[in-house]
């Protein structure tokens, strides 16, 4: 399995209207539509978002608000409170960044998370997804759906499969069974034009695209055809695009078996410190704060940090500090699931390279 990525696509369920329903209990269970003013059916704007109760009436986002008014006259119509939605989004993204070093925000309520380092395998990824969903619900009062797969393309389709409030994993050996029955419109890059062109050639499903006849047809689509042929086989090597400027450099390790073996823990910590130092050097960075992260077997996570007066950059510095932190804060009765070290309060030695400090996880970090 080495080299297989594990990507989450997390999509908040009916984000805007769920926030409104959370904040105003009288809206719960009712059709709620966020968008422009319906003006008694004469409004000219569109629906920005609608609750699941409104969707039952055929309301959908981007629909003309006048039409929504006609099909669902009993709905509560609200103007958007973008500031509030953005603030909720920021808090949720902060949770994502806590669980994954590599997060690609797609929109205000969606993100890809590279979980390759944070989980052991697909079973673990599924368990952790439920944990994460529970946490988001507990802290933010909102539900999310999670798609899990080896790449962004599959994870994005998967998050839609059990919406709302669901988790769906496309295991590597089930990719073809998952894709084949899907309509071709599910393929990345297939808009209405390509869809009808392919439909007219007798291609309705991804499975048909994979057959020799479908492959033949794709040769007429040039570059796009090559891409579609790959997607139809579930291949998508696009990395996560993380725009954030680096604020910290870190590595973490998830143990195949939870452990409280002091020697193993210290040795792992040491190796992580070496990697962090290498990464800092590679980017010409120094930091002042060393942070230790411990996740216990029951998934409770603690972070403890130490700020030093002198800049930290060598592995000796990092290892000395992280070892002290570990020995001071580890509850020795408890087994550890994950250990991590990061250095933050970064100062640039030369000029800002703008390079992401968290590119794709090294395959060497994967434990299966
Ligand atoms: Mg959403």
179 C-alpha to ligand 1 centroid (Å)? 22
**For the structural domain made of 180-232, what CATH number should be given?**
1.10.150.20
Stretches where the chain sits below pLDDT 50 are 1-2, 350-368
User: Which position among 20, 53, 110, 313 bears the catalytic label?
Assistant: 110
301 C-alpha to ligand 1 centroid (Å)? 27
110 C-alpha to ligand 1 centroid (Å)? 6
**Per-domain residue ranges for the chain?**
1-175, 180-232, 248-367
pLDDT given at position 314: 85
336 C-alpha to ligand 1 centroid (Å)? 34
Give just the sign of the alpha carbon dihedral 295, 298, 300, 304. Answer: negative
pLDDT given at position 243: 60
Q: What is the pLDDT of residues 111-147, one digit of tens each?
A: 999 999 899 999 999 999 999 999 999 999 999 999 9
262 C-alpha to ligand 1 centroid (Å)? 43
pLDDT given at position 245: 56
181 C-alpha to ligand 1 centroid (Å)? 24
12 C-alpha to ligand 1 centroid (Å)? 4
194 C-alpha to ligand 1 centroid (Å)? 25
pLDDT given at position 272: 96
148 C-alpha to ligand 1 centroid (Å)? 16
pLDDT given at position 101: 86
107 C-alpha to ligand 1 centroid (Å)? 9
140 C-alpha to ligand 1 centroid (Å)? 15
For 73-89, what is the HEC assignment?
A: CCCEEECCCHHHHHHHH
- The residues, ordered by sequence, that sit 6+ positions from 250 with a Cβ below 8 Å of its Cβ are 101, 276, 291, 293, 340, 341, 342, 343, 358
pLDDT given at position 357: 40
One CATH from 3.30.70.270, 3.40.50.720, 3.50.50.60, 3.40.50.620 for 1-175: 3.30.70.270
13 C-alpha to ligand 1 centroid (Å)? 5
Active site residue 110: yes
Threshold 0.85, pTM exceeds: no
Q: Which superfamily does CATH assign the domain made up of 248-367 to? A: DNA polymerase, Y-family, little finger domain (3.30.1490.100)
């Amino acid at each position: 399995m080495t080299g297989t990525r594990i990507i989450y696509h997390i999509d908040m369920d009916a984000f805007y209207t769920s926030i409104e329903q959370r904040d105003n209990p009288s809206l719960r269970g009712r059709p709620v539509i966020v968008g422009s003013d319906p003006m008694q059916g004469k409004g000219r704007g569109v629906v920005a978002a609608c609750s699941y109760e409104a969707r039952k009436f055929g309301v959908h986002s981007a629909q003309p608000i006048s039409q929504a008014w006609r099909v669902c006259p009993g709905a509560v119509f609200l103007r958007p409170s973008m500031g509030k939605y953005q603030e909720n989004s920021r808090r949720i993204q902060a949770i994502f960044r806590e669980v994954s070093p590599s997060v690609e925000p797609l929109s205000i309520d969606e993100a890809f998370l590279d979980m390759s380092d944070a989980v052991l395998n697909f079973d673990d990824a599924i368990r952790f997804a439920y944990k994460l969903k529970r946490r988001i619900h507990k802290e933010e009062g909102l539900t999310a759906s999670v798609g899990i797969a080896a790449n962004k393309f599959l994870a994005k389709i998967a998050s839609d499969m059990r919406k709302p409030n669901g988790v769906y994993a496309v295991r590597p050996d089930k990719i073809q069974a998952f894709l084949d029955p899907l309509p071709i419109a599910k393929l990345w890059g297939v808009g209405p034009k390509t869809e009808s062109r392919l439909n007219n050639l007798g291609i309705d499903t991804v499975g048909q695209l994979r057959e020799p006849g479908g492959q033949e047809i794709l040769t007429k689509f040039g570059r796009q055809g090559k891409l579609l042929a790959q997607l139809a086989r579930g291949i998508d090597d696009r990395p996560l695009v993380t725009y954030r400027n680096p604020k910290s450099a870190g590595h973490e390790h998830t143990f195949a078996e939870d452990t409280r073996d002091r020697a193993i823990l210290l040795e792992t910590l040491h190796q992580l410190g070496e990697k962090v130092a290498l990464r800092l050097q590679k980017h010409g960075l120094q930091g002042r704060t060393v942070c230790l992260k411990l996740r216990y077997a029951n998934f409770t996570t603690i972070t403890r940090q130490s700020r030093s007066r002198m800049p930290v950059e060598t592995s000796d510095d990092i290892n000395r500090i992280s070892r002290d932190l570990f020995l001071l804060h580890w509850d020795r009765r408890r087994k550890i699931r994950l250990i991590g070290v990061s250095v933050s309060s970064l100062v640039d030695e030369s000029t800002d390279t703008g390079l992401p400090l968290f590119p794709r996880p090294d395959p060497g970090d994967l434990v299966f």
